[in-house]
Amino acid sequence: MSRDASSLLDLDECIEHLRALIRIPSVNPPGVPEAAAGLDSAGAERAAAQYCADALGAVGIGTEVVEIEPGRGSCIARLPASVSEPEAPLILLSHLDVVPVDAESWSRDPFGGELIDGEVWGRGAVDMKDMVAMELAVMLALKRSGAPLRRDVIFAAVADEEAGGEFGARGLVERRPDLFRDAHGRPAEAALNEVGGYSMTLDGRRFYTLQVAEKGIVWTRLRSTGSPGHASMPHTDNAAVRLARAVAALAEDQAGRRAVVTPLVAEMLEAIGLGEVAELATSDPDAARSILEERVTDPVVRRSLDAMLRDTVTPTILRSGKKVNVMPGAGEAELDVRTLPGTDQETLLAHLRDVVGDDAEVEPVVALPAIEWPTDAPIVDHMRDALERADPEGIPLPMMITPGTDAKALAQLGIPCYGFAPLRLEADFPFLKLFHGHDERVPVSAIAFGLPVLLDVVRSYVVD
């Protein structure tokens, strides 16, 4: 006998799980007290994984806490399919780690998990312990309902997303691919993950982001060399100057980088009333930029839209010299390079080598291609339908994000991973600014909207 899972969905319990998870300071890198407001973060990812395992285990869901390295825990749980010929699984993916805090810049305790004026405060509130708690609540509701499942539902809350996933998704995909497959060895048919799903109000219209693509990453190192010597008798072979010149040349090159309008981004701009930007982006970039300036008031949204229109090369770290009176013999810079679907990363690197010339060597350190999944997949239809039922005025908006997620790791197993953490937000809520920002928090009302939507999508996709 099964019961209706939506009547068993417990918002209060979900909020308490979120608050409890925020209080576990699972800062990445672990074990650096300054990064965790003085708290001991060693082993905190394992503690967070164990927290999820306990909550799921308490209702009889089979769980496993996997540690690729001691302390770097991930929680994997599975609700098995109950039909004789199941379809391939659905994964509810999330990450348990959070980025460091600068506690002095916060107006509240970043690891307090406080509930203040209808908002849950703390590191991870939007990135992404909110979704961990929502996916947990969906698993509990499904289990309590006893609903027959036509595919396995796999809950995977993993470590180390914020540092590339070697001890989390990427490591698990390499060493334990079975965790993401069913008993017949078939990889999951789809996964739901972070970022997309939130609402965005533009020109008075509310859009819900359906994240079907993300840009590629090439973390790149620049190396300059020079001749050491006493700085009181200078020569021109100075590694610091070469490095600065190379970085300045790259910045200038970036400022003039041509736009490339991918079909997905063109469609998205059209839907939000910025079709003109898509049309002019390549032929008249200045005009396209001024339309963006004029029409999109939120500077973070504007920068995000601009970054969807081109590859970006951003110098982030510079090192050279050790002593004020010694000319540096070496210099190093790091570049955060993000590529659109369709960009050949090798060709872009060759271009960067031309730009810096003799001033620096250019060496890729981590390269992950962009990903883009079909917008007409059944799971995406379920997202549209669930949103339509919950907010008939809202407009689903397939989109690309500029940062990377663990979706890149699942892509190695061929698993399409969609960003869908549904939240209905007030128009002026500074959502994107809170990712890795100070005073990270999430309105309870946003989760009260999103949690039933998430269950609706999962249920449509998995319940027989």
Contact footprint for Zn ion (CB under 5 A): 127-128, 194
- Between 147 and 169, CB nearer to Zn ion: 169
- Between 143 and 170, CB nearer to Zn ion: 170
- Minimum CB separation from Zn ion for residue 73, in Å? 17
- C-alpha–C-alpha distance, residues 328 and 82, integer Å: 66
298: DSSP letter: -
- Minimum CB separation from Zn ion for residue 440, in Å? 11
- Minimum CB separation from Zn ion for residue 463, in Å? 28
- Between 74 and 254, CB nearer to Zn ion: 74
DSSP, collapsed to helix, strand or coil, labels residue 155 as: strand
User: For residue 122, which of 442, 445, 455, 448 has the smallest C-alpha distance?
Assistant: 442
* Cα diameter, the chain: 87
How many Cα atoms within 13 Å fall on the side-chain side of residue 461? 30
How many Cα atoms within 13 Å fall on the side-chain side of residue 83? 15
- C-alpha–C-alpha distance, residues 427 and 198, integer Å: 11
- Between 359 and 440, CB nearer to Zn ion: 440
- Between 194 and 311, CB nearer to Zn ion: 194
Containing H/E element for 285?
helix 285-295
φ, ψ of residue 171 in degrees (nearest 5)? -65, -40
Would you state the structure tokens that stand for residue 326, as one six-digit string?
């010694």
- Minimum CB separation from Zn ion for residue 194, in Å? 5
- Minimum CB separation from Zn ion for residue 127, in Å? 4
- Minimum CB separation from Zn ion for residue 9, in Å? 24
DSSP, collapsed to helix, strand or coil, labels residue 313 as: strand
What beta strand segments (E) does 80-168 contain?
87-95, 115-116, 119-121, 151-158
User: For residue 315, which of 264, 359, 377 has the smallest C-alpha distance?
Assistant: 359
- Between 328 and 450, CB nearer to Zn ion: 450
- Between 127 and 152, CB nearer to Zn ion: 127
- Minimum CB separation from Zn ion for residue 78, in Å? 23
- Between 215 and 310, CB nearer to Zn ion: 215
- C-alpha–C-alpha distance, residues 121 and 15, integer Å: 11
Which residue's beta carbon is nearest to the bound Zn ion? 127
User: For residue 46, which of 135, 153, 151, 160 has the smallest C-alpha distance?
Assistant: 160
